[in-house]
Chain A
């Protein structure tokens, strides 16, 4: 196929002016791959319409947008919206809440699937192993709305969580109405739901460890704990490092849908994050330009963190996700 395509075009065309020779190559490439380009066309259209048009639409952050005037007809206002946001009390609150939810999730949520995978990996009974996996994966398949509903039931004043608290001598409170408890509830529900699913990748990494290492270590008199510590953990370290780096790249992103389902005005102080704020100000209160500015700020921070994370993972592992 390739040879015939080359043969039909006279060789000399490649030697002519640089610009025209590039276009010759383009034309040749298009005629050879016309069906492939035809196939990717709807995909490209999708990305342009639903990803790039909104990126240009984000310029409303620098305008005083009103739906009547449309995006292009609204007057420019420069950085007014951003300055308003940076000077408002919300700025630090939203940033702090987003970062803290992430920090707690990294401290408690990130190691959970690793530990779980190490434990499951030590199970010898195949049946028991499979049942355990099935059970711990299960919450991943419960929808977020239902999970939030469960949390609501269990943390209510007569709920099971309060029963446990009372049993240990605490006092019953409507937990979701307590700003001080929001982060704990958020992070523990996240761990409950994603720990099992997250362990899959570590289990795969563990099964890739050479069994000879374990045999050799056993011969040298290493017990199970020592082998976990000196063989299993170093064996999955590359996976841990790359996932940690990628996790760090998502520092300002919070599962805001979970936030929206769990928070209420009483807990905004600790629960409100940038995305939920944008949702309220923009989609519920129609403060378009201001909320678009807040959203754009979030995207910009997120972009720089992701670029850094990707660069770092390329350095560390000589691979990057993309």
Chain B
């Protein structure tokens, strides 16, 4: 009887491991395929159909074309600006709001909270938002991708929840020492909230990294395009003119076969390399977000 059960359990373990291994492989395979194709030579890729677990031949031509391409580098530069400036600015604004909302004994807190939370339920829509940003005169600047998106309400609520867990006694003793609200936020609360600040920086960075939709609408000047917009031209609109310029005409179709893969690798690998090290912060972020009062 006992032996039977342990056999059952072991069978369950093996099945579980097997199922998860399959899930993992299916999840990972698209990336493997892309990486392997990107290192292959164009002629073999054009002739090949089916799965790919190692490069067919070996050719770095696609990478040379990608790294020489000024638009990719420019896209990276613009995206880097959006991430660094944008995330810091957003975290600053978000912490101001979160601080206010985590206060006790403030008369208009409820009113302001309502004003903010209401926007999670109702919005004027895409068109009035566009017309508004346009009227303000932000279109065709990178600020159009930062200022109208200063605060993500959901992130601010997460931050408020984290601030509210800091013991009041710390704040009270700071007040006795003559601290005002600015001192309390920047000298007491923020230093004690580094984990949530890290989470917020990450969340906002991911948002800025992924943003393409409003960029495609607000920006006309190509030198301002963030990376995702360049990627969209290459991957979705299939515009390889950007990429094959400057290569020999005879090589173009061969490079075209692998270049999209190389573009994907160049645009994805940095993030995928950094993220396992930050995984625990992301998980923390989701967990704080899940806390309800």
**Residues of A in contact with B (beta carbons under 8 Å apart):** 1-2, 25-26, 29-30, 33, 35-40, 42-44, 46-47, 49-58, 60, 67, 71, 116, 119-120, 122-124, 128, 131-139, 141-146, 148-150, 152-154, 158, 160, 163, 192, 196-197, 200-201, 204, 223-225, 239, 257, 260-261, 275, 278-279, 282-283, 288, 291-292, 295-296, 298-299, 302-303, 306-307, 319-322
Q: Counting CB contacts under 8 A, is B60 at the interface?
A: no
Contact B50–A57 (Cβ < 8 Å): no
Chain B minimum-CB-distance residue to A70: B135
Please state if A54 and B150 are interface contacts (CB–CB under 8 Å). Answer: no
Alpha-carbon distance A223/B235, docked complex (angstroms): 50
- C-alpha spacing A291/B235, complex, angstroms: 28
8 Å CB contacts to A: which residues of B128-178? 128-133, 136, 147-148, 150-151, 157, 175
Bound-state CA distance A292–B129 (Å) is 10
Cβ of B27: which chain A residues have Cβ within 8 Å of it?
135-136, 138-139, 192, 196
Question: B99 contacts A39, CB within 8 Å?
Answer: yes
Q: Does B250 contact A (CB under 8 A)?
A: no
Neighbouring A residues of B51 by C-beta, 8 Å: 160, 163
Write out the residue numbers on chain A whose beta carbons fall within 8 Å of the beta carbon of B119.
Answer: 47, 51-52
By the criterion CB–CB under 8 Å, are A43 and B286 in contact? no
Quick one: given A123-B16, A149-B235, A154-B30, are A33 and B103 in contact (CB under 8 Å)? yes
CA A280 to CA B145, docked complex, whole Å: 20
B286 and A200 form a contact (CB under 8 A): yes
Residues of B within 8 A of A (CB): 5, 8-9, 12-13, 16-17, 19-20, 23-24, 26-28, 30-31, 33-34, 49-51, 93, 96-97, 99-100, 103, 105-108, 112, 115-117, 119-133, 136, 147-148, 150-151, 157, 175, 180-182, 185, 206, 209-210, 212-213, 217, 228, 231-232, 234-236, 260-261, 264, 267-268, 271-272, 275-276, 279, 282-283, 286-287, 290, 292-293
> Which chain A residue has the least Cβ–Cβ distance from B217?
A283
Using A40-B97, A143-B209 as known contacts, say yes or no to A55 and B123 having CB atoms under 8 A apart. Answer: yes
| Dominant secondary structure at the B interface | helix
Cα A256 to Cα B100 with chains together (Å): 34
| Least CB distance, A153 to chain B, in whole angstroms | 7
Whether B181 lies near A223 (C-beta < 8 A) is no
On whether the beta carbons of A292 and B125 are closer than 8 Å, the reply is yes
Q: How far is the CB of A247 from chain B (nearest CB, A)?
A: 14
> In angstroms, how far is the closest chain A Cβ from the Cβ of B111?
10
Query: What are 13 pairs between A and B in contact, CB < 8 Å?
Result: A30-B107, A33-B107, A37-B100, A60-B128, A122-B16, A128-B17, A138-B27, A148-B236, A149-B234, A288-B131, A292-B127, A296-B125, A299-B123
Given contacts A160-B50, A257-B212, contact A54 B31 (CB under 8 A): no
Known: A49-B136, A141-B275. 11 other contacts (CB 8 A): A40-B97, A51-B119, A55-B122, A123-B20, A138-B27, A139-B27, A145-B210, A149-B234, A154-B33, A261-B232, A278-B125
A303–B121 alpha-carbon span in the complex (Å): 5
- Bound state CA distance, A239 and B287, in angstroms? 12
Please report whether the interface of chain A is mostly helix, strand, loop or mixed according to DSSP: helix
User: With A33-B103, A152-B236, A319-B292 in contact, is A144–B210 under 8 Å at CB?
Assistant: yes
Contacts of B23 in A (CB 8 A): 116, 119, 136
Once the chains bind, are A146 and B264 in contact (CB under 8 Å)?
yes
Q: Are B128 and A46 in contact, with the CB atoms below 8 A?
A: no
Give Cα distance in the complex from A1 to B106, angstroms. 13
Contacts of B34 in A (CB 8 A): 150, 153
Residue of A nearest to B185 (CB): A39
Is A224's CB under 8 angstroms from B12's CB?
yes
Chain A residues within an 8 Å CB radius of B147: 50
Find out whether the CB atom of A54 lies under 8 angstroms from the CB atom of B132: yes
A60 to B126 Cα, complex, angstroms: 12
Closest to B271 in A: A141
Once the chains bind, are A54 and B107 in contact (CB under 8 Å)? Answer: no
